[in-house]
Structure formats: C-alpha cells, structure tokens
Amino acid sequence: MMPFAEWPQAELSNDLIQTTLYLPDASQGYYQGTRFDWSGAFKDLTYKGHSFIEPWFENYDPKLHDAISGPVEEFTPLGYADAKPGDTFVKIGVGTLRKPDDKTYAFAKYYDIVDQGTWKVKKHKDYLEFTHELTSPTGYAYVYRKTVKLTKGKPELVLEHSLKNTGELPIETSTYDHNFFIIDKQPTGPTVAIEFPFEVKGEGKGFGSTILPQGKQLLYSRELAKKEQVYSAGLQGFGTTSTDYDIRIENQKTGAGVHITGDQPLQKLVYWACATTSCPEPYIQLKAEPGQEVKWKIAYEFYEKQKP
C-alpha cells in the first residue's frame, strides 16, 4: 500500500467547505478500479466542524471496485453485450476494457484496462475541471468533462457534467451517484434519516424490518451489525420530472445533513447501506447521437440544523 501522502490529490475551499479529492493517475492514483468514474474521488469534506466524507470500508486496494468514498459515479458499460470474449468494451470515466469471458457484466469484477484514454485536470482554489478523452476500436468515442465546484458564499458542492459523443456509434448509458456519505462518523442506525419529496416505498433485503419506509422517509429500527447490509434494487414513489431528484441524508444526533438535487428525471433509485454508510443511488439515463453533447448537474447542500 502506497504511503498516504503520495497519492496525487488536490484541496478545494470556498471558506465554508474544505474538501480534498484524489486525482486520476493510471499508476499512482488512489483509485484504479474499473467500476467508478476516476474523476471526483473524494478523500474528505468538512463544513462547520462536521465531517461528511471518509473511508467507509476496511480493506483498501487501488484496484478494489468499491475502495472509494463520497459522491462517486458509475456509468453502465458500452458495447459489453455485443463484445465477444477477448474483445473490448468501454466504461466512461475509466477507459477501454477487455471482456474476459461470456459471463454477464459484473460491477464487482476488475476488468483489464486496455486503454485509459487521456486525462487532463485544471486546478483552481474552489473548483477542479476533469477532462477524459477516449477513442476505442469498438466505435465508441467521447469527451467527458466533470467540474467539481464549491459555490461561492454557500455551503454547496456542485458536480457539472458534459458528455460529447465523438464516435461512430450512439451512446446510451445510465449513470448514478453512489453517495457514500458518513456524517460525523456516526454508525448506520436510528440516528440516520433519509428523506424524499414523495411517499417512498421499498422492498428488498432488510426492508420492513431493519429499514422502514415511513411516509417520505426511510428510518432504521436499530443499528446495523458489522457485516450487515440492507438493499433495494428500486425504491418506488418518484415521478417523471427532475423535481423528485431531491434527497436528504441527515444525522439527527449531530444535526448535520446533506441535501442532494439533480436536474434530470430519475430513471431508478437503488438503495444500499452497511454499518458505516447509507447510500441512496439515483440513476439517470443519457443518450447522445454521434456529434451530440449532453449535460447534467448534481448539487449537494451541506447544512447544520439548529438544536432546540
């Protein structure tokens, strides 16, 4: 394991929020897995003495698919189903990958990277601009830009994205934000509340027993055990407009919370939690014909509730 200080990283501040991000690097980077987009990998984030981001996992390896923290994003693969074993497919924000066999795509698996594409990073005091360019032999090619920005004068983090299709094939993918937040080091349990703007319903592992949909909230009946998880492949209740991309994760013990909003309609809403982190995973759908560019934005407002 590489000494902590040697991973390429950059600090951002707007005098309200302080945060550190790891930078994409094929050989020295903190995250070299093939699940998540390599840009916007967070090390930490603090606001008003509250901590919101830190490692939620015990085991670290740069190529481990989930050894990553904070609001991280994944794109569903391009061309995997059509590729024969030994051929390549594409993951936006990662590169051109090798398909080893005829099994269905598995996010937890590490796929050999054939071409990382090219990364450029522009650093400023309160924002970072990442650009990833990739041209693959599959016919897929793109320019992906992601700006991680702290809003001036507000406790807000904004992720601005653009994806330009520079290839021969149309791009159709889904992307979601995993939202690995840990608020004030508090464990997953009754102090954590997840709130939506709609009456939420959910089925799956732990739903109805360990985690309870109550009106517009998800609440826990008890703390999760060390290896325990809850999971729903799709929460229900949201509509067809972007107004339902509106989620709060709040720690009711410390009063700190994060309010997440997006400017696209939800395609689906997965939910996963373990003993350290509670993660709503809002999916959106992206389509770009050759030559077309699509844009989308996600905002995170950090807050502290006044104690009565």
pLDDT of residue 291: 98
Q: Which two tokens mark 205? A: 């592992």
**Is residue 85 classed exposed, middle or buried when 0-12, 13-18 and 19+ CB atoms within 10 A define those classes?**
exposed
* Dist. CA 98–CA 86, nearest whole Å: 6
**Helix, strand counts (H, E) of the chain:** 0, 22
**CA 279/CA 197 separation, integer angstroms:** 17
267: left (phi over 0), alpha (psi -120 to 50) or beta: alpha
Q: Extract the tokens encoding 290.
A: 């050759």
**Contacting residues for 135 by C-beta, under 8 A, at least 6 apart:** 117, 141, 166, 167
Residues 6+ apart with CB under 8 A from 80: 89, 99, 105
DSSP 213: E
Task: Retrieve residue 216's tokens.
Answer: 């517009």
- Asked if residues 22 and 29 have their Cβ atoms less than 8 Å apart, the reply is yes
Which residues, given as ranges, of the chain have pLDDT below 50? 1-2
Task: Give the C-alpha separation, 231 to 124, whole Å.
Answer: 38
pLDDT for the residue 4: 52
Contacts of residue 3, defined as CB under 8 A and 6 or more positions apart, other chains included, come to none
Cα gap 296→65, rounded to integer Å? 25
Tokens at 124, concatenated: 């400023």
Q: 124: which residues sit within 8 A by CB, 6+ positions away? A: none
Residue-range domains of the chain with CATH:
4-185+277-304 (2.70.98)
**Cα 140-144-150 angle, rounded to 5 deg:** 165
Per-position b or e across 264-303, b if 16+ CB within 10 A of its CB: bbbebbbbbbbebbbbbbbbbebebeeeeeeebbbbbbbb
| Global confidence as pTM | 0.96
At residue 262, the pLDDT reads: 98
